[in-house]
Chain A
Amino acid sequence: MNKLSIDIKDKAFVTADNRTINVIKNLSFELSNNELICIIGPSGCGKTSLLNIIAGLDKNFSGSIKLDSSEANYTSSYIFQNPRLLPWRTVLENIQLTSDDHVNNTAKITHLLERLGLENSLHSYPQHLSLGMQRRVALARGFYKESDVLLLDEPFVSLDPPTARNARKLLVDLWCQQPRNVLFITHDLDEAIELADRLLFISKSPSHIIAEIDIDIARSERTEININRFKESLINNRPDIAHLM
């Protein structure tokens, strides 16, 4: 169930000096059973373009994205590289705005924010929070909205290592409590091995998938040592994708 099939035949854009650049070519994969997929690829390979297409921000491509083999609307939520909170709305309002139900949902949001250690910032404006806190609010916003797929575009990229480690743990916690399909973009292989059920390696543009790796370490055993061991064996066994690691 909730199988999302992504099949992008071609995505190109035209530059200012009229050259056509192919960003994505024949990229297809499936996401199902609430799995967490990490996408790894060189910078500029069209990873963000891919997420924007899935999020419906970019409709100018050929191909299709289907939920359970129908073209009917699927819903997505998006956690961006920068938090993108509305500075003129409080934390609570920022999260409330993503849902259409008019019932009083303050209790549910408060509960969610409590788990993220933000229970005292409910009525703060985003600019009064640290970047780490803003990213946690963005995380809460992404999870608060029910969706068929949650998209994350390097959401922890400019955090210091301990904060980022914490944020990754929170992400996995939230995902375990509210399971759903997750597509996580990163250039950090360690991060990907820690989080993912499956890794997708993407070539440089025009990008397509060059390797799919299942991660068979149990979630409770993803310690630094095990992650490093997995990485080493991956580098040794797959020389074809070693340049992407």
Chain B
Amino acid sequence: MMSLMSRFTFLPPLLSLSLLVITWQVLAVVLNTAVLPSPLLVLDTLITALQTGELQHHLGITLYRLAISFFLAMFLGTAIGLMLGRYNKANAFFDSWLIILLNIPALVTIILCYIWFGLIETAAIFAVVINKLPNVIVTIREGARNLDEDLIDMAKAFQFGQAKTLLHVILPQLYPYIMASARTGLALIWKIVLVVELLGRSDGMGYQIHLFFQLFDITSIMAYTVSFIVVIQFIEMTILKPLDKKSQRWK
């Protein structure tokens, strides 16, 4: 019974993905144009790029930038969001800063970072973090405002101390908010990392895609896109989903 059930839950996503690929194949055949290569052609290019090692190199660099800026943004955002959510005065004071940061276009912060700090790695990562940070802050701040005061009083009454209170009382309550901003964060950071690479780096996916654009090599652009869709799916399945499950086990 269990194996049957799990096979059925696996089936619908597989079906919908196949439908997508079939639609793509049909469109490519019907339109028969150079700007929409068929899935088979893209797969072929993908394999070639893997064989030369070029894809791994650029994908690796992009993933490295993604990981550093993701963890920096999540860590800083959680700390700042928690503080703003808990202290009304700090929140009232910094609220306008947050609104400004939230609304500056990504392109502007990226270009300013490159102008102020030069075309260096630090500037690239800093630009990505600055773009993601306000979203994390806003989400975590919402969570921090909804903390259960009864449990915090309990921690005080039993003299938990700050570290224990944070670890066992506050963070478990923030967990859904942290997961939500991790998910949206991953998606947003991908997009920004690529723009940052396009504008001021000489490696990474963004740089490569820019190059292919100039060469009008649409097949390669799509092959690279497919490769990072696979990576994102992999992260979702192996890291985010299990984390979700683990955090739900007490419910």
Does A186 touch B at the CB level, under 8 Å? no
Secondary structure type dominating chain A contacts: loop
Does A86 touch B at the CB level, under 8 Å? yes
Check B157–A55 contact: CB distance below 8 A: yes
A92-106 toward B: CB 8 Å interface, digit per residue (1/0)?
000001100000000
B249 to chain A, nearest CB (A): 8
Check A80–B150 contact: CB distance below 8 A: yes
* Total interface residues in chain A, CB < 8 Å: 22
The stretch among A1-9, A39-47, A71-79, A170-178 that forms the contact with chain B is A71-79
A97 to chain B, nearest CB (A): 6
The stretch among B20-28, B91-99, B164-172 that forms the contact with chain A is B164-172
Docked Cα-Cα span, A141 to B160, in Å, equals 13
Does B245 touch A at the CB level, under 8 Å? no
Chain A neighbourhood of B9, CB < 8 A: none
Check A88–B250 contact: CB distance below 8 A: yes
Check B251–A84 contact: CB distance below 8 A: no
Does B151 touch A at the CB level, under 8 Å? yes
Check B151–A127 contact: CB distance below 8 A: no
Docked Cα-Cα span, A57 to B156, in Å, equals 7
Within 8 A of A (CB), among B226-251: 247, 249-251
Check B151–A86 contact: CB distance below 8 A: yes
Check A80–B250 contact: CB distance below 8 A: no
Chain B neighbourhood of A151, CB < 8 A: 157
Does A87 touch B at the CB level, under 8 Å? yes
Docked Cα-Cα span, A221 to B29, in Å, equals 94
Check A56–B156 contact: CB distance below 8 A: yes
Chain A neighbourhood of B154, CB < 8 A: 78, 80, 84
Chain B neighbourhood of A89, CB < 8 A: 168, 250
Cross-chain pairs A/B with CB under 8 angstroms, 17 sampled = A76-B157, A78-B158, A82-B150, A84-B150, A84-B151, A86-B169, A87-B251, A88-B172, A89-B168, A97-B158, A97-B164, A97-B168, A98-B158, A125-B249, A125-B250, A127-B250, A145-B158
Binding site for B on A (CB under 8 A): 52, 55-57, 75-78, 80, 82, 84, 86-89, 97-98, 125, 127, 141, 145, 151
Binding site for A on B (CB under 8 A): 150-151, 153-154, 156-160, 164, 168-169, 172, 247, 249-251
